[in-house]
Structures are given as C-alpha cells and as structure tokens.
C-alpha cells in the first residue's frame, strides 16, 4: 500500500509527461470557457481569433448556445467563464473562484475588439486588397503579442506533480477497501463475534477500527508526500500549504471510512461489496475526479456536467488551486462540506450499528 502510489506516480508521471509538457507551454493552469458568438462578420472574426490563439491564451473552448445552462455551469464551477458575443458587444460571466488567467483574458478580448472596431472604420474607405488584408492581420495579431508571463508567473503542475496528488487522493479512496478486508478477516476469525459477546458495541468496534486504519493511511500518505517532495521534486507549496494538503486528505479519508462503515452495515455480503467497489464505483469516481486524466481535459472533452458528481474532482481541484493559484476558497468549501458529511455519516453509522447489533455476525 505504501509502495504502490510511489510507483504509480513515477510510471504515470513518466509516461504522460509529453502530454503535460504540451499543456505547460504557458505558466498558468488552463481555464475552461463556454462561449456563444453570434453569426455575423465580426462574430466570425472573433471566433477565428479564439480558435487560432486558444492554446497560446491557455484556455479550453466549448460552444454553448443555452445561456442559462452555461451560466449555471459557471456558478457551479464546472466551467471558469462564459463568453457571449452578440450585437457587437462582448459579455463575460465568471464566478468569484475564476483563476487569474480568466480575468486576464477579459483584457485580451477587449483589446482585440477595440482593434477590430478601429480596423472596421478604416476599411470602409480602403479598397486596396493588400492594405485591407494588412489591417485585418493587424487586428488579429493582438494574440501574437500577449503571453501569460506578462501577467503572472504562477506554477503549473507537471506530470509528476499532478499524479503525485492524484495518487494521494486515490490512496484515501481505497481506505474503504482496507476496512472491508479488515472486517472480513475479523469475522472469519470470529474476533468480532467475541468482541460483541463481551458486551461491547458494534459501533465502538467499527469506529475504532476505521479510526486506526485512517491514522495508518494518513501516516503512509505523509510518507508518500515526503518522498514525492524530496525524490520526485514535486511542488506542494510552502510548509503551511503542505500541511493543509495533508490535513484535507486526512479529513477526506475519515469521511471515506464512515461511508465504508455504512456500506458494510447495509450490505452483509462484504465480498460482493468489495468486488462492486473495486470494479465499478471507485474506478468511475476516480476517473471523473481526474485521477487518470487531468480534470480540465475531462471538461474539454465534454464531461463537465458529470465530473461535478465526483467528490474527488472537488478535492483535487481544491488542492491544485491552493498549491498553484494560492486560492483556498475551493478547499475551504470542500473541508466544510466534508466535515458536515462525516458527522452525518457518523450518526448514521451509530444508528445502523444499533439496528444491526449482534445479528450482523450471526
């Protein structure tokens, strides 16, 4: 369990380095944009401008004509911003958690539209084809002279850095498998049965077992983080951010253990539960959370409406924003929601264990 995330980080980080290197041509984390551009001459030019420079401007573009759906996606942080160009005016909707690159792009678009308007006025009195083409290129060339380096020098994760964090959250998720295997072993050896017949409660057994496993896993995650920091040279930010990542991972691991305890109390067949989690549930949650493919690439290929249902997506994004954007809003919100969910699941575990009682191991 300790060696696996270290090895996987190395293998994935090495194998997928070319993809991340291509994504890292600028120093900012790519922003995800939805857009609607009217069907007009100026709209076509703006669309051509966006298509030509989206890589250089560090953005992923997805067309969306439904304004209400797009604004809802931005408010739920599925997308960073929504650009609307209609009747010669550009409007940008973005949430308060939008990255620096999103706010910066607003300046670039305004600059382009200003140039385009000037060129349109001049073209009315120019007939020479060469001059007209030169003026159109002048308006378009605003994209050639801008770079995210002009605005900020925020780090961007390389492949090793991305998968180091992905493997940490993966380890937290598989805590539930560790608990199920431990319970199966206790039941098989009749240890749990003797524990309950001694007058102790099923809840105390589950809580102590899950807490013990949680502490061991957090210690292993800390070792993985230290190894990644000093051997793989992964950037986790300053020491306070490093500890924050460890803390939020610990909280998430505890929540996972409570969720696993509830599943164990509901489904008596632990072997079948183990198979279902390993084969279907966990791989799906991890994929949507960006454990295998970077989450902003999932948005780019049209899975933005689905990934929001994976808590791993919110955890990973919160960690990346804290480390690379020095933005702690996402991770704070995730911590609050996870703490409340853990409390609710702890109460549910207590109620279910009272309901099950000694019959659970009969």
The domain spans of the chain are 30-150, 159-361
**Tally of CB atoms within 10 A around 53:** 18
For the chain, the first-to-last Cα distance in angstroms comes to 31
CA distance 346 to 352: 10
Quote the pLDDT of residue 68: 82
Write down the pLDDT at residue 334. Answer: 94
Domain covering 30-150: architecture: 3-Layer(aba) Sandwich (3.40)
Residue 308 has a pLDDT of 81
Predicted pLDDT of residue 251: 95
Q: Looking at residue 44, what is its pLDDT?
A: 78
Strands (E), the chain: 31-37, 59-63, 81-86, 89-94
Instruction: Specify the pLDDT at position 77.
Output: 66
Residues 6+ apart with CB under 8 A from 194: none
Record the tokens describing residue 117, joined without a space.
């308007």
pLDDT at 272: 92
- For residue 111, the model assigns a pLDDT of 67
The position carrying tokens 């999932």 is: 298
Residue position matching structure tokens 């072997």: 271
Question: Whole-model pTM?
Answer: 0.66
Mean pLDDT of successive 10-residue segments in the chain (362 residues)? 76 71 48 82 76 72 84 75 80 66 62 63 53 50 39 59 88 91 88 84 90 91 91 88 94 94 89 91 87 68 76 89 81 94 95 77 56
């Amino acid at each position: 369990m300790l060696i696996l995330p270290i090895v996987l980080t190395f293998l994935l980080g090495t194998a997928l380095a070319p993809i991340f290197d291509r994504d890292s041509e600028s120093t900012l984390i790519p922003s995800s944009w939805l857009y609607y551009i009217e069907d007009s001459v100026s709209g076509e030019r703006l669309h051509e401008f966006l298509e030509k420079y989206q890589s250089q401007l560090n953005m992923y573009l997805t067309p969306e004509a439904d304004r209400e759906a797009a604004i809802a996606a931005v408010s739920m942080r599925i997308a960073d911003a929504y650009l609307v160009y209609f009747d010669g005016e550009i409007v940008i909707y973005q949430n308060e958690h939008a990255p620096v690159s999103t706010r910066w792009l607003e300046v670039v678009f305004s600059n382009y539209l200003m140039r385009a308007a000037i060129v349109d006025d001049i073209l009315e009195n120019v007939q020479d084809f060469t001059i007209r083409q030169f003026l159109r290129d002048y308006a378009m060339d605003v994209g050639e002279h801008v770079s995210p380096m002009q605005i900020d020098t925020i780090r961007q994760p390389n492949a090793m850095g991305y998968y180091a964090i992905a493997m940490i959250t993966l380890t937290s998720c598989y805590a539930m498998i560790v608990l199920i295997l431990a319970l199966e072993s206790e039941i098989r050896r009749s240890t749990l049965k003797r524990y309950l017949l001694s007058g102790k409660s099923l809840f105390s057994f589950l809580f102590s077992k899950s807490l013990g496993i949680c502490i061991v896993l957090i210690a292993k995650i800390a070792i993985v983080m230290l190894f990644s920091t000093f051997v793989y040279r992964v950037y986790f930010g300053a020491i306070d951010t490093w500890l924050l990542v460890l803390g939020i991972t610990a909280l998430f691991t505890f929540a996972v253990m409570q969720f696993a305890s509830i599943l164990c109390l509901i489904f008596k067949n632990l072997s079948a539960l183990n198979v279902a989690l390993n084969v279907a549930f966990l791989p799906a949650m991890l994929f949507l959370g960006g454990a295998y493919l970077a989450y902003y690439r999932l948005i780019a290929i049209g899975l933005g409406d689905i990934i929001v249902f994976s808590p791993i997506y919110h955890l990973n994004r919160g960690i990346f924003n804290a480390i690379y954007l020095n933005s702690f809003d996402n991770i704070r919100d995730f911590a609050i929601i996870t703490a409340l969910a853990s409390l609710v699941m702890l109460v549910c575990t207590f109620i279910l264990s009272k309901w099950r009682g000694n019959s659970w191991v009969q």
